[in-house]
């Protein structure tokens, strides 16, 4: 009888440790310079953006979210400025003059939920 109690306690302890391990590995956090984009089912109602076609995404900034395995996916989205370098090959104008153009653009995602949702969809 005494051995049976210890076996049951050991099984409960192993299950408890496994449950904690699953929770720790599936809890995702967003850093101060990024947003966590969570997609899938069972998103809840807090910080959920619904676009015009009815698609739902959950946006987490400065916090974390538990990502349900199989039902949800999470990807970080950087909110830092990004540098884009654009260059064109040699092209000719209507007068036959060769022109080459190089440019640099700095882009940044806005801080509102709508701006982050738009960036998540487009990038």
DSSP H helix total and E strand total for the chain: 2, 10
Q: Write the pLDDT tens digit of every residue in 55-112.
A: 888 999 888 888 988 899 999 999 999 899 988 888 888 898 999 889 999 999 988 8
- Gap between the Cα atoms of 95 and 1, Å rounded: 99
* pLDDT confidence band for 46 (50 / 70 / 90): confident
Counting the structural domains of the chain, the total is: 1
Query: What separation, in Å, do the N-terminal and C-terminal C-alpha atoms of the chain show?
Result: 62
Structure tokens at 71: 């039902």
Predicted structure pTM score: 0.71
Alpha carbon distance 44, 113 (integer Å)? 16
Over 90: is that where the pLDDT of 18 sits? yes
Can you give the residue range of the structural domain that contains 71? 2-122
CA separation (Å) from 35 to 17, 21, 47, 96, 110? 30, 24, 11, 48, 11
Q: Which two tokens stand for residue 117?
A: 């949702």
């Amino acid at each position: 009888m005494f051995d049976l109690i210890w076996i049951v306690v050991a099984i409960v302890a192993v299950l408890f440790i496994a449950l904690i391990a699953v929770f720790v590995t599936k809890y995702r956090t967003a850093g101060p310079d990024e947003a966590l984009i969570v997609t899938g089912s069972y998103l809840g109602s807090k910080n959920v953006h619904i676009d015009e076609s009815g698609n739902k995404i959950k946006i987490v900034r400065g916090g974390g979210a538990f990502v349900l395995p199989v039902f949800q996916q999470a990807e970080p989205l950087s909110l830092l400025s990004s540098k884009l370098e654009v260059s064109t090959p040699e092209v000719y104008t209507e007068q036959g003059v060769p022109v080459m153009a190089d440019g640099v653009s700095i882009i940044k995602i806005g801080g509102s939920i709508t701006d982050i949702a738009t960036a998540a969809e487009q990038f």
